[in-house]
């Protein structure tokens, strides 16, 4: 889009067009020159040929120095990824990027071209591409020992990334430029999701319904469900992680963000008191609670003071859901907040509603909401029966709040979700789920902007449609197109009959 195109690229495009127009004009003039008789004809032809060749050389040189990259593939396969572009264009200090590639490897040669395109996005990124077989001295100087390695340096710091993926290099730049250490602490002791676990359901669309139990549980029941993919994404951008207990004395001192991810056992009053003390000292909390989790009154009191209340039941959205499950809420519109500035569609495989609790010292807002057709069911198995009598209205699925819990307390930050599975290994890399989790952590860490990186997790190519889009395609392909063809056939038959 022109609005997102840097001034340098627009300038290069204008210079290239001007050079081509000048070349066409000069050739048009030369074609109209009179051709004198005799030996002067050959002199004119020689002068015109030499001038034309020289002009062509100058134009090609100008176009080469002001190259414009045009990628016409559907998925922009020959261009840097959007998150890479955001990282490089956002550079405010110089970064040296030296990429050592293996000339015999096609993917490495393609990566060389990609790295050179990255260098044209921002003059702050200084790019060199080197074949270590032809320049082993430079490889030894920078400490590169293997092929396809990017060495990043800035302000005396060094990061090496071994990859043929431009997103990995962008993540290395984020890690290189992180001036302050950040630690995300994951609460343990209540059966939470484990950050050391990387298991996931490979085909959740077909397995999701079978993994639910027939009782009142609303969550995906999967042994050893974890947050390993979230951990890997944070490691790539240089965020430290560790597990903590709420009773730890170093909780507030060491933890920039505290994550409570799907506890399975109820909080005790001392746990809630420790959480309250952490928030009063200016802590930041990211909270994932499943619909079936019983909230202790002491924990509910702490959350209400922070501006959010978790309601019972499970949300059902007939108008906007993913796949064929009305309880798998699909969301494409968000509240206006730094966390949601760059998000597209996300989905939540079973979520409980949240409500805002007014407070004079706390500012809270809904980040994610269901559609106006959604309602709350008290029993998952009988959700369809409750649709007729339930009130239809948008409900919040996620809330962000900040403020002070008491006079003289430090300002806290909180992001609460009525679902935990969307951040788990199975659902984390799909749609914008990862972006939403990482942006929430970035805001909680009080960074200037949301995380520009999407985790490099390979997933199968998918076509993302919500229920309304699926119904529209069904109507067009099953009724509109066949009906139109039948109508044309009838018109042709009628015309031949008469």
Asked if residues 169 and 163 have their Cβ atoms less than 8 Å apart, the reply is: yes
Asked if 306 and 348 sit in the same domain, the reply is yes
Last residue within a domain, chosen from 114, 144, 176: 176
Q: How far apart are CA 350 and CA 331, in angstroms?
A: 13
Question: pLDDT exceeding 90 applies to what percent of the chain?
Answer: 33
Identify the CA nearest to 367 among candidates 315, 415, 434. 415
The separation between CA 221 and the C-alpha centre of its own chain, rounded to angstroms, equals 27
Q: How many domains does the chain have?
A: 4
Using CA atoms, how far apart are residues 360 and 367, in angstroms rounded to an integer?
Answer: 20
* Lowest-pLDDT range of 21-25, 239-243, 343-347, 405-409: 21-25
Is residue 423 within 8 A of residue 288, CB to CB? The reply is: yes
pLDDT of residue 49: 73
Of 141, 176, 211, which residue is a domain's last? 176
Of 418, 413, 457, the C-alpha closest to 434 is: 457
State how far the alpha carbon of 116 is from the alpha carbons of 74, 98, 275, 420, in Å.
Answer: 22, 10, 49, 40
User: CA-to-CA distance for 135 and 129, rounded, in angstroms?
Assistant: 11
**How sure is the predictor about 63, in pLDDT bands with cuts at 50, 70 and 90?**
low
Q: Residue 463 falls within a domain, yes or no?
A: no
Beta 284-288 vs 157-162: how paired, if at all?
Answer: unpaired
**CB-based contacts of 57: which residues, under 8 Å, 6+ apart?**
none
Q: Could you tell me if residue 277 is inside a domain?
A: yes
Q: Is 365 contained in some domain? A: yes
Residue 250 lies in a domain: yes
Q: What Å distances lie between residue 79 and 70, 73, 74, 84, CA to CA?
A: 9, 9, 11, 10
Shared-domain flag, residues 134 and 223:
no
Residue 66 pLDDT grade (very low, low, confident, very high; cuts 50, 70, 90): low
Please check whether residue 454 lies inside any domain of the structure: no
Residue 207 confidence (pLDDT) above 90:
no
The last residue of one of the domains, among 130, 160, 176, is 176
d(CA 144, CA 162): 10
Residues 361 and 482 in one domain: no
For residue 463, give the nearest of 455, 477, 453, 473 by alpha carbon: 473
State the CATH number of the domain containing residue 227: 3.40.50
Residues 453 and 167 sit within 8 Å (Cβ to Cβ):
yes
Q: Give mean pLDDT, residues 280-292.
A: 94
* Residue 489 half-sphere exposure toward CB, CA atoms < 13 A: 6
**Domain limits for position 170:** 82-176
Contact of 233 with 453, CB cutoff 8 Å = yes
Label residue 214 by pLDDT band (50, 70, 90).
very low
* pLDDT value for 301: 96
Q: Give the total residue count for the chain.
A: 498
Q: Are both 155 and 208 inside the same structural domain?
A: no
Same domain, 191 and 167: no
For the chain, count helices (H), then strands (E).
15, 17
Residue 74 covered by a domain? no
| 131 and 267 assigned to the same domain | no
Residue 456 lies in a domain: no
210 and 345 inside one domain:
yes
The Cα–Cα gap between 378 and 382 comes to 8
Write the CA distances from 495 to 482, 483, 487, 490, 491, integer angstroms: 20, 18, 12, 9, 6
In a domain, residue 289? The reply is yes
- Read off the pLDDT of residues 295-343 as tens digits, 9 standing for 90 and up: 999 999 999 999 999 999 999 998 888 777 888 898 878 999 989 987 8
Residues 280 and 382 in one domain: yes
In this structure, the answer to whether residues 496 and 426 fall within a common structural domain is no
* Alpha carbons 393 and 317: distance in angstroms, whole number: 10
- 96 and 35 together in one domain: no
> For residue 55, what pLDDT is reported?
73
Indicate if 353 and 493 belong to the same structural domain. no
How far is C-alpha 266 from the geometric centre of its chain's CA atoms? 33
CATH number at residue 146: 3.40.30.10
Same domain, residue pair 194 and 129: no
> Residue 199's pLDDT band (boundaries 50, 70, 90)?
confident
């Amino acid at each position: 889009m022109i609005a997102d195109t840097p001034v340098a690229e627009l300038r290069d495009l204008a210079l290239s067009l001007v050079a081509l127009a000048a070349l066409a004009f000069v050739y048009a003039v030369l074609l109209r020159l009179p051709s004198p008789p005799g030996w002067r004809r050959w002199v004119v032809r020689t002068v015109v040929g030499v001038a034309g060749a020289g002009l062509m050389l100058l134009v090609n040189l100008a176009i080469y120095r002001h190259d414009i990259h045009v990628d016409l593939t559907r998925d922009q396969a020959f261009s840097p990824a959007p998150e890479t572009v955001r990282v490089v264009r956002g550079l405010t200090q110089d970064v040296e990027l030296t990429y050592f590639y293996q000339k015999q490897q096609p993917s490495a040669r393609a990566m060389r071209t990609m790295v050179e395109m990255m260098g044209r996005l921002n003059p702050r990124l200084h790019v060199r591409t080197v074949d270590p077989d032809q320049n082993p001295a430079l490889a030894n100087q920078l400490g590169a020992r293997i092929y396809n390695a990017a060495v990043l340096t800035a302000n005396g710091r060094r990061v090496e990334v071994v990859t043929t993926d431009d997103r990995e290099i962008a993540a290395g730049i984020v890690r290189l430029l992180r001036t302050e250490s950040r630690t995300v602490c994951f609460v343990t002791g209540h059966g939470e999701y484990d950050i050391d676990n990387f298991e996931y359901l490979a085909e959740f669309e077909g397995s999701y319904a079978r993994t639910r139990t027939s009782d009142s549980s609303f969550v995906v029941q999967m042994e050893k469900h974890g947050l390993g993919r979230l951990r890997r994404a944070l490691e790539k951008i240089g965020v430290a992680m560790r597990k903590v207990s709420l009773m730890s004395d170093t909780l507030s001192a060491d933890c920039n963000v505290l994550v409570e991810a799907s506890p399975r056992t109820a909080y005790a009053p001392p746990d809630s008191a420790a959480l309250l003390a952490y928030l009063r000292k200016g802590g930041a909390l990211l909270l994932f609670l499943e619909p079936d989790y019983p909230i202790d009154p002491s924990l509910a009191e702490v959350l209400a003071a922070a501006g959010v209340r978790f309601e019972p039941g499970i949300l059902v959205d007939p108008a906007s859901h993913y796949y064929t499950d009305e309880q798998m809420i699909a969301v494409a519109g968000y509240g206006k907040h730094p966390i949601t500035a760059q998000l597209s569609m996300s989905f939540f495989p079973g979520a409980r509603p949240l409500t805002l609790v007014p407070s004079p010292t706390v500012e809270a807002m809904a980040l994610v909401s269901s559609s106006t057709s959604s309602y709350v069911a008290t029993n998952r198995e009988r959700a369809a029966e409750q649709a007729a009598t339930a009130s239809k209205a948008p409900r919040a699925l996620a809330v962000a709040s900040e403020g002070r819990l008491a006079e003289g307390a430090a300002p806290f930050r909180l992001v609460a979700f009525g679902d935990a599975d969307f951040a788990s290994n199975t659902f984390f890399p799909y749609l914008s789920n990862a972006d939403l989790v990482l942006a929430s952590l970035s805001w909680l860490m009080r960074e200037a902007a949301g995380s520009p990186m999407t985790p490099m997790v390979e997933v199968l190519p998918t076509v993302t449609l919500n229920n309304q889009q699926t119904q529209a395609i069904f109507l067009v392909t099953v009724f509109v197109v066949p009906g139109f063809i039948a109508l044309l056939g009838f018109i042709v038959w009628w015309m031949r009959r008469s």
